[in-house]
Structure 1
């Protein structure tokens, strides 16, 4: 019935200042999705509220109302009422808009069985509607009031209000709204047991609901068609209608409606003597209704228990009674539903010789009296007479049970004693098994600890061995570096010797070619110390030149050789002597290399060389 409000929705009056969020488009999209894909609609609703700071009140009011519709589609009535009411303060001055939450609040209270509260909200809305001269709104409110009277079994009031609503909508030429009112009229005729006429009206509504996208109302109508066919004993058509309904309602996740539909399918299976299939459907139904604490729980539980009684499965029936017992305290339950439940549990108690049977029969008779005062007096009297006879029979059963109670008491006590002894022995055995398991586990843990400690000691020994090996390798490397440095300095001395020979030539100390030749031959006989240096350096630092060259591609071979000398921590003076250049040239060379490497800091330069 919520979808009947679609045509009453008005565009958002204005957009929020200072934001690019399109509230009008968001509302239209959420309104389109809430009846078919409620979870998708919820995403838009939350986004709208997150952007609603500074937005017009009607935007907030309409969005909270859509939030309520979302929870209604999910069958969460209390949450739906909360958000419907939250929308009211924002749209209090907009009579056409405020009509929607008023109607939905009343419908939610009606679903909770609070009919007077529902009518109060409808009367408040009717006052606003008449003041605004909104004839279409007035007709829709008459339809909602009729639904309340239909639930209250005041069918004449319901029909009068619906005919008044239909007359208004025809005058106003509001075709779409007529579908919802016709559905309510069909509901009334279903209650009045005019099943054929009800089916005809329901079938007239189906294309209309399809046309306006009111999918949930579309599937609700199929539930009612199924019920009408059941009452006409046309079980095949009933089953077809209910199958369409249950498949379609799953997308809305409305557990109450799905549960009701499963119960009707179970009823058909029972009428067709397919008892096991009937029980499966009733179990599905009751599980869903218990989950949402539905007002239908007792009625359907009564039908479920009745089938179990017919099959002689009284222990299962007793389990259902235990589950549903808390719902008996609900004072809002329909009298007829109470009768179905009380009659079923009375039968269970009588078959299990439970003294509660008398109380259950008394409750049933009291409920029959209440129904009798309202309607169907002759039929109820006949039922009452039957139950009076059953009541007397149950009293006799109770007296016989008391006579047998004393003889059974001793047997029960002996059984209980044996049970205690068995339980005590079992408990002792369990303790012994636990202690044995604990000791074994403790022993295993001790062995594991020893193994871990041994492994730890082995790892420590390996670690010490690795340290010793590393230290030895480090000492070897340092020794080789000392040898290399010594060789380097020797090479520098030979370079100095060549320089001295040249100086002697300049000073005239060597004048003869034979003397010069003798000096040079002496030097030629010596090894190529620079090549020797390079070979030894590469053996100590095999990847230094390659890594440095790869990392700094601008460095030349001479640059890399210069860096090799720096790697040995030679001073600028020593390098200058070795390379036969001035001290200033060595400094300049180092500066240019750092520039190529884009390094200005000496510490960073030395760190790079030492780490490679």
Structure 2
């Protein structure tokens, strides 16, 4: 009760101070009226309010600076937003609850700018101050924001874990509004994992609640809900109505980043319903608008636009979009995550293929493989960090128990002065005990270190032996593959030679008339039993990835085309290929020319040969 008295006096002082200045009341009202719909005006009023800093409490000044940062964020000026949010921290250092809120706002700003690691660090600071203030609701909000970061980082497992923590805490404290926001984040998680039906159901649950007090959350949720309808292809009309409502509402709030995202989604609806011209116009607006805004959604919107241009066979226009996206690749803010870049590269490969730009196609393909490998590595690293974090939390819990006991001793010391002597004796005994424990601990630690050194030496020797064995196995494998390729070529040539010799014997037989029926049967058998099946099985042993990569790069190639490329890979002659496939020499030449046209290389014979030779 005694601790509450200074807080009550402080609150009364602030209210009394502000009540004595009608200009401050007027500015507060103007800020409240313009904060949602007009960020520019709200910002001006906030700066005017700061002119009365001498009459405002530090927490009010800090909150005002943070709110200015929020308005800059809505105006897509992240650097200014960060500056004012950091300035807010200077005024709230002595107030844990307000300090935690300032760090939470800063973390959200970092997330909007795709700076996920910095956002997580700011959230750790926010969590520390919320716990210091014993504010469970704040802890729930931090867990929800952590989940959003991991959701954008495509770490679904960790995102779900933090969402569950947030839901548990917010349910306990009874904060219905924030609970619905966390449920919205849960729907976003299912959306990112492709479970559009379940995501749609959760969006339908939370939308009526957000509609009671329409703001940014309502429009964001409605935008995601419309996207689910598009993905499920079940109700384009409802999706279009929702997206038009989102575009109108966000324009009024001057939230242009999400305006362009909604226009991009609207373009998808137009395309799906056969309104091609409207779709192209909408895609172009969203693409240009997000670029001018330096939006993190620029690459996502560009990938959709390129896909549309490819379907319309506007490959030159698609190339110009690709070039602009590549020119902005160094700007971290212009892409949300690796999945956006993978989607973009898929569409770029399709464009390059149609334009016959094989080198560009190969480079994009290799970049896609690298990003996929990086994502897998990041997931593994995240799991390792999670184990480490669990271990550290266990240690921290033990430390907290010790600290709690020490605090209880100190409280008892303050309340019972008569027991100072006894408490001193207890502390002395405790120090002796700790000294004894430390002595034994150091002795055991030294013994463990010695054992560890011995174990490391053994591990080093085992690792060296393992590396030697792996080198030998690699050499054996390389020799085996070389021998298999030689064997494959040799057997193929032998089969081809045998088939040719049989045909020569038939062509030069002594009595053609009498053995004409028999000759026809032998030719039919030779024509039906080409050796492609045997050849294919052996070829996969030598070059296991060749056929798969070729089909991924050029989906329009048939199995017969892939087989033909495999024989070209072994540098077989026209005559040998004709024998193996049971066709004539002229047909081999014709098929080679057709194949070049299919992959967009036309008369570029050298380029075609280079592609076949270098692809593994």
Cα distance between partner residues in 1 of 2:126 and 2:111: 15
Report the alpha carbon displacement of residue 144 of structure 1 after superposing the two structures with TM. Answer: 0.6
Alpha-carbon spacing, 1:404–1:60, altered in 2? closer, same or farther (3 Å): closer
Report the alpha carbon displacement of residue 205 of structure 1 after superposing the two structures with TM. Answer: 2.3
Give the gaps of 5 or more residues in structure 2. 1-10, 380-545, 558-564, 566-594, 609-616
Q: Which of 354, 359, 363 does residue 363 from structure 2 map onto?
A: 359
Q: Does 1:42 align with 2:43?
A: yes
Deviations 1:422-472 (A, max 9, x none): xxxxxxxxxxxxxxxxxxxxxxxxxxxxxxxxxxxxxxxxxxxxxxxxxxx
Alpha-carbon spacing, 1:201–1:22, altered in 2? closer, same or farther (3 Å): farther
Report the alpha carbon displacement of residue 54 of structure 1 after superposing the two structures with TM. Answer: 5.1
Pairwise CA RMSD: 3.3
Alpha-carbon spacing, 1:60–1:397, altered in 2? closer, same or farther (3 Å): same
TM-score of the aligned structures, taking structure 1 as reference length: 0.58
The match for 2:552 is 387
Cα distance between partner residues in 2 of 1:215 and 1:12: 33
Deviations 1:464-495 (A, max 9, x none): xxxxxxxxxxxxxxxxxxxxxxxxxxxxxxxx
Whether the 8 Å CA contact 2:120–2:146 is kept in 1: the answer is: yes
Q: Which of 337, 340, 343 does residue 337 from structure 1 map onto?
A: 340
Q: Does 1:137 align with 2:141?
A: no
Cα distance between partner residues in 2 of 1:369 and 1:385: 20
Deviations 1:395-426 (A, max 9, x none): 97569437699xxxxxxxxxxxxxxxxxxxxx
Q: Does 1:349 align with 2:352?
A: yes
Q: Does 1:181 align with 2:179?
A: no
The match for 1:216 is 216
Cα distance between partner residues in 2 of 1:193 and 1:82: 37
Shifted more, 31-40 versus 234-243: the winner is 31-40
The match for 2:97 is 96
Whether the 8 Å CA contact 2:349–2:364 is kept in 1: the answer is: yes
Shifted more, 47-56 versus 184-193: the winner is 47-56
The match for 2:475 is none
The match for 1:170 is 171
TM-score of the aligned structures, taking structure 2 as reference length: 0.58
The match for 1:69 is 70
Cα distance between partner residues in 1 of 2:337 and 2:42: 35
Report the alpha carbon displacement of residue 136 of structure 1 after superposing the two structures with TM. Answer: 0.7
Report the alpha carbon displacement of residue 385 of structure 1 after superposing the two structures with TM. Answer: 6.3
Cα distance between partner residues in 2 of 1:142 and 1:152: 15
Alpha-carbon spacing, 1:61–1:325, altered in 2? closer, same or farther (3 Å): same
Alpha-carbon spacing, 1:210–1:195, altered in 2? closer, same or farther (3 Å): same
Q: What does 1:21-32 correspond to in 2, within 5 Å?
A: 21-23=22-24, 26-27=27-28, 29-31=30-32
Count of residue pairs brought into register by the alignment: 391
Q: What does 1:113-128 correspond to in 2, within 5 Å?
A: 113-128=114-129
Whether the 8 Å CA contact 2:355–2:600 is kept in 1: the answer is: no
Give the gaps of 5 or more residues in structure 1. 1-9, 376-380, 406-612
Report the alpha carbon displacement of residue 143 of structure 1 after superposing the two structures with TM. Answer: 0.6
Report the alpha carbon displacement of residue 71 of structure 1 after superposing the two structures with TM. Answer: 1.6
The match for 1:581 is none
Alpha-carbon spacing, 1:142–1:32, altered in 2? closer, same or farther (3 Å): farther
Report the alpha carbon displacement of residue 26 of structure 1 after superposing the two structures with TM. Answer: 3.5
Whether the 8 Å CA contact 2:300–2:344 is kept in 1: the answer is: yes
Report the alpha carbon displacement of residue 371 of structure 1 after superposing the two structures with TM. Answer: 5.0
Cα distance between partner residues in 2 of 1:102 and 1:121: 6
Cα distance between partner residues in 2 of 1:305 and 1:219: 26
Q: Does 1:229 align with 2:233?
A: no
Cα distance between partner residues in 1 of 2:18 and 2:247: 45
Cα distance between partner residues in 2 of 1:394 and 1:136: 65
